[in-house]
Amino acid sequence: RHRMADTGLVETLLQRVEKVDGGLDSQDVATSLGVDHQAIVGAVKSLQALGDVISAEQRSSKHWELTGEGCEIAEQGSHEARVVSSIPEEGMPQSQLMKLAFGKVGFSKAMSNKWIRLDKGHEGGPRIFKTVERLEDLVRDKLLLVQKGQASELEEKEKNELKKRKLLSEVTVKSYWITKGSCFSTTITKQETELTTEMIASGSWKEKKFKPYNFEAMGVALDCGHLHPLMKVRTQFRQIFLEMGFTEMPTNNFIESSFWNFDSLFQPQQHPARDQHDTFFLSDPAQAHEFPQDYLERVRKVHSEGGFGSQGYKYDWKIEEAQKNILRTHTTAVSARMLYKLAQQEKFTPVKYFSIDRVFRNETLDATHLAEFHQIEGVVADFGLTLGDLMGILHQFFNKLGITKLRFKPAYNPYTEPSMEVFSYHEGLKKWVEVGNSGMFRPEMLLPMGLPEGVTVIAWGLSLERPTMIKYGINNIRELVGHKVNLQMVYDSPVCRLDS
């Protein structure tokens, strides 16, 4: 929208328009008021925005103007005239004349005008003498005419000649021809830009003048959304899983019962991970009540008495522990639900599942640990899968991330046997660093679900935060997640591309 011009100038302009019959040229107004033409244009535009106060028709005209050199000549005389006036009666060496600023051009013009003569045979080098006492400096006279605004008194040919000498230039001037409009008035009433609730309530809108909408105006550029680096890296991991033929699991429940989070995974009820030092318990609703009863019974049995070739943990399994609602400590709880569902199918079909979602642990917060983070998990179930299949699929997965050197280290997890920590060689740090955890789900977990004998399930997991921090060079996790995040970091983080 056009900025409102100086009101004083707007009113002066209106007074001028009122006084004339016909109209006014905006350039003439600018000259007579001694203000910049742009200021008058501004006043015209803001009057136009008020409706039909004035009518302004754009026109363009050409006129002649002196160039910088033209102005100098108008003031001090043409180069040739200055040459003549600088030569004394006894003449001047040509070399000396040439040293003067106007010497070269002035010399040749003065020669062709026959105002000077050159004596080449003079001892001490060529010497110049003037041949006239008084001269008519026509070039200067013409320029002075143009300067006075009387360029029309010169012939076209003369003007073009001066233009060729770069003393004159023809400029196009855009101006407005201003006349009174149908609502002409010398006082301006401010137009309302918005219809307010008060105006409607008081009825004052009836007396107000409203500014018409400008549908041609450009809208304000929107600041569009930016994805958080975690979401960008998540997209890449999701892409890798999809390329490998995996299906995403539904992870849309942060709250889980201890049953699905721990018991179904054959994690004993005394396990320290089930303590409030490690897990967040819900106070309302504190308990879950809906479980598949026969499956729950098989889980109780395998914990307390054993079965399926296992001696179990030999303790008094309590439903009250399994009922406790918690913030899920891993997305493996979702994998357990999915594998149970798979076991309920009439005929088993092999599956490849993945999930990337948030989990919660009662951690002591520091630069690399938060009480919530994202877990990436891959699960494959089929007849006869071995540790070799797990190693193979881990190589394939990490290769797609650009990680080629892998090592596996035996480890302990409550619900996998065997279990392996996954290490990769870090070229920058020149050492092996842990990149994930993996294993084969225990039969004590799979068989009570109802999966057929001979079906084995391999799984691996890693956090989303760690690769993201490495990718975006973030050293403190609190700069990535939480109230200390600088939004500029989110805006500035580029698209995530894995160097595979």
Size of the site for ligand NAG (CB under 6 A): 4
CA angle 8, 14, 19 (to 5 degrees): 130
Residues 441-480 that bind ligand NAG (CB under 6 A): none
Which is nearer to ligand NAG, 244 or 282 (by Cβ)?
Answer: 282
Contact 2, 46 (CB under 8 A): yes
Which CB sits closer to ligand NAG, 341 or 369? 369
Residue 372's Cβ-count burial label (10 Å; 0-12, 13-18, 19+) is middle
For the CB of residue 230, give the shortest distance to ligand NAG in the complex, in Å: 24
Of 49 and 371, which CB lies nearer to ligand NAG in the complex structure? 371
Between 254 and 315, name the residue whose CB sits nearer to ligand NAG: 254
User: Is residue 363 helix, strand or coil?
Assistant: coil
Smallest gap, in angstroms, from Cβ of residue 219 to ligand NAG? Answer: 48
- Supply the DSSP symbol for 65: E
SS (H, E, C) 319-349: HHHHHEEEECCCCHHHHHHHHHHHHCCCCCC
Shortest spacing between CB 256 and ligand NAG, in angstroms = 16
Binding to ligand NAG in span 42-71, by CB under 6 A: none
Nearer to ligand NAG, 136 or 278 (CB): 278
Least distance to ligand NAG, CB of residue 439, Å: 27
Helix (H, G, I), strand (E, B) or coil at 268: coil
Show the CA angle centred on residue 69, arms to residues 118 and 140, nearest 5°. 65
CB of 272 to ligand NAG, least distance (A): 11
Q: Quote the CA–CA distance of 458 and 386 in Å, as a whole number.
A: 8
Nearest distance, CB of residue 276 and ligand NAG, angstroms: 4
Q: How far is the CB of 470 from ligand NAG (least distance, A)?
A: 28
Is the Cβ of residue 112 or residue 364 nearer to ligand NAG in the bound state? 364
Query: Would you say the C-alpha torsion 36, 37, 38, 44 has a positive or negative sign?
Result: positive
Residue number with CB closer to ligand NAG (78 or 269):
269
Between the alpha carbon of residue 387 and those of residues 53, 264, 438, the distances in Å are 88, 22, 10
Binding residues among 92-151 for ligand NAG as defined by CB under 6 A: none
Hunting for tokens 């999966």 — which residue is that? 451
Strand partners, 257: 325
Q: Give the closest residue to 83 by CA, choosing from 115, 126, 120, 122.
A: 115
Cβ distance to ligand NAG smaller for residue 194 or 284: 284
Maximal CA-CA distance, the chain? 135
In angstroms, what is the minimal distance from the CB of 323 to ligand NAG? 17
- Considering beta carbons, is residue 20 or 365 the nearer one to ligand NAG? 365
- Least separation in angstroms between CB 251 and ligand NAG: 22
Distance CA 42, CA 4 (A): 8
Q: Are 440 and 335 in contact (CB under 8 A)?
A: no
Please give the single-letter amino acid code of residue 342. Answer: L
205/280 with CB nearer ligand NAG: 280
By Cβ distance, which residue is nearest to ligand NAG? 362
Bridge partner residues of 459 (DSSP): 379, 439
User: What is the spatial distance between Cα 67 and Cα 65, in angstroms, rounded to a whole number?
Assistant: 6
Q: Looking at the DSSP assignment, which residues form a beta bridge with residue 358?
A: 374
Smallest gap from Cβ 270 to ligand NAG, in A, equals 18
Kindly tell me which residue out of 48, 304, 362, 463 binds ligand NAG, with binding defined by CB under 6 A.
Answer: 362
* Residue list 327-356, contact with ligand NAG (CB under 6 A): none
The least CB distance from residue 362 to ligand NAG, in Å, is 4
Comparing CB distances to ligand NAG, the nearer of 2 and 277 is 277
Name the phi and psi angles at 43, rounded to 5.
Answer: -65, -40
User: DSSP letters of 417-445?
Assistant: EEEEEEEEEETTTTEEEEEEEEEEE-HHH
Select 293 or 364, whichever has its Cβ closest to ligand NAG: 364
Closest alpha carbon to 83 in 118, 37, 121: 118
Distance CA 482, CA 104 (A): 77
Q: Least distance from C-beta 277 to ligand NAG, angstroms?
A: 4
| Cβ proximity to ligand NAG, 36 vs 366, nearer residue | 366
Cβ neighbours of residue 254 closer than 8 Å, sequence gap 6 or more: 327, 328, 358, 360
Mask 249-288, x = binds ligand NAG (CB under 6 A)?
A: ---------------------------xx--x--------
**Residue 253 tokens, joined:** 């429940």
- CA 214 to CA 222: how far, in whole Å? 19
Assigned token pair, 45: 């535009």
| Least distance to ligand NAG, CB of residue 273, Å | 12
The residues that touch ligand NAG, with contacts defined as CB under 6 A, are: 276-277, 280, 362
